Structure 1
Amino acid sequence: MHPDIVLQQEGVDAEAAHASFVAVSAAFEAVLDELEADAALGAGRTTAPSAAARGGGAKPRKRRTSTVKDASGVRHKSLGEVLCEVLREDPSSARHVWEDVVAQQCEVRETMLDELFRACASNGEGLPGALAILRDATRRGLVSTRVREAAMVSLIKWCKEDADSFRAILAEVNEQEKTPETIEMLSNANFLYSGYADGYNIKR
């Protein structure tokens, strides 16, 4: 069911496989959540019992994070990161992947937005498509200030084509974010991604 495998097979229902893959990945993360809770108890930290254990039914869904590590300390990719990896092979599914990220209540990380914006630049949606995703994430409260700052750099990296598009990106910076450090960071990104970096072409 993994997208990388499904794309190489003929006669496979890609939509059904994708839905199954999302469901399996979500179940995997639920198991990791339980393992993390068990590890916390084993380390002497207290955690509140689940609603089900208290007789209150299923516990409410929490936003899925990407900080779960196994016993060897290896960090596992989050469901959101796995979903966004598909975009390397199929950038046209950026909007669909974003909808999955929202539906699965995934924690939105800088790397995920970078993949989404890269896909928008490749599939013709460009800056308007990338901005729509960032605005939706902001409206839903899915991104922190730090993640938004990194997202602005990714917008410049993948979606800036000219001075007008750079001004459009700057217009997304709200008043609370307009610190000298942020403006300097975006100015440096504008200079860095000015047509010489890999993956960026100002004339495209």
Structure 2
Amino acid sequence: DATNVCQPLISVITRIDYDHTDKLGSSLKEIAREKSGIIKPGKIVISSSQYVEAYKEIKKIDLYLNIAPDNNLLKLIKDNTYYIESLVKIESLNIGTNITKPPYSATGILEGIEIFIPLKDIINIPEEITRLEKKLLKVKKELDIVCRKLNNQDFLSKAPVEVIEKEEEKADELKDIKERLENHLKTLNSE
């Protein structure tokens, strides 16, 4: 298998399903054992039950990385800059321990790595602020509706536990989205 011949920069384990029973085995246990063979010591591994989630995790490794000096990941990424640039379709990748956040930059954090994506030449800042403000307003309204439901004793006493749990998850997700939107707006408005 190709994963034993080459040294991957990032191993992505996608869903474990019966889609390759002719090659990987007839049970989920056999298929999982075969898929786990792509994990290599010292390499980044992304495990996801959905292809989209795995792709999003890979995209998080983008333009600017700020990694602790004692982290082996710094060397790994520096040694494989070309592959990362190709993977996430970027023009350049700056890696270091003392990189200053560029103005109008989106920021992401992924397990000890800080990622800066300069936005000034990519997006129209005033238009993006307007778009984010509209989206934030919509999210706040949705969150308000969900919170009112969860604070309604009549709803709580009549709804099945699964429905209540789903609403609680929705509230948590909306709070997370709201916080991220507020942070993006703060970044764009403060530069």
TM-score tier (shorter): under 0.3
Structure of greater relative contact order (alpha carbons < 8 Å, 6+ residues apart): 2
TM-score by length of 2: 0.26
| Structure with a larger share of its residues in helix | 1
Asked which structure has the greater CA Rg, the reply is 2
TM-score by length of 1: 0.25
